[in-house]
């Protein structure tokens, strides 16, 4: 149980394009979803927190107009990297937590984004 699916797992695109990453909780309802970014040889860095039906809360230094987050349902959140540039190349990981207080936070397998 507690499976979080992330899609796509790998994407390569040209500079200036927008990329959408999907995060789904497959067998539980996710009240809260989180988006992280990880650069090579570094730890995960929290980008934003989103609650279903509400606007996302972004961490300091993360541009909300560049990283658009939508959490329209209890099983789906999307991250759109708008007008992507090479410096946005990174490993993006989503995470979800269910409605029950005894459930831990579960993670997707990440999306490796490469901007040429």
Does residue 91 belong to the site contacting another protein (CB under 8 A)?
Answer: yes
Spatial distance between the Cα atoms of 99 and 92, rounded to a whole number of angstroms: 24
Alpha-carbon gap, residue 106 to 13, rounded angstroms = 28
Nearer to another protein by Cβ, of 10 and 16: the residue is 10
Among 11, 24, 28, 32, binds another protein (CB under 8 A): 32
47, 40 in Cβ contact below 8 A? no
In the complex with another protein, the residue whose CB is nearer, 17 or 71, is 71
* Residue 31 neighbours by CB under 8 Å, 6+ apart: 51, 52, 74, 97, 98, 99
Least distance (Å) from another protein to the CB of residue 14? 23
Enumerate residues 6+ apart whose C-beta is below 8 A from 60: none
61 makes contact with another protein (CB under 8 A): no
Q: Does 62 bind another protein (CB under 8 A)?
A: no
Contact residue for another protein among 67, 88, 108, 115 (CB under 8 A): 108
- Residues in the site for another protein, rule: CB under 8 A? 2, 4, 6, 32, 34, 36, 43-46, 49, 51, 57, 91, 93, 95, 97, 101-110, 112
């Amino acid at each position: 149980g507690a499976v979080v699916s992330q899609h796509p797992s790998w994407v390569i695109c040209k500079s200036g394009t927008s990329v959408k990453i999907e995060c789904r909780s497959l067998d539980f309802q996710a009240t809260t979803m989180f988006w992280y970014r990880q650069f090579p040889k570094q730890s995960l860095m929290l980008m934003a927190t989103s609650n279903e039906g509400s606007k996302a809360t972004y961490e300091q230094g993360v541009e909300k107009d560049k990283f658009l987050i939508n959490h329209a349902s209890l099983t789906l959140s999307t991250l759109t990297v708008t007008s992507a540039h090479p410096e946005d190349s990174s490993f993006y990981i989503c995470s979800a937590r269910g409605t029950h207080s005894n459930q831990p936070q579960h993670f997707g397998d990440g999306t490796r984004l490469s901007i040429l």
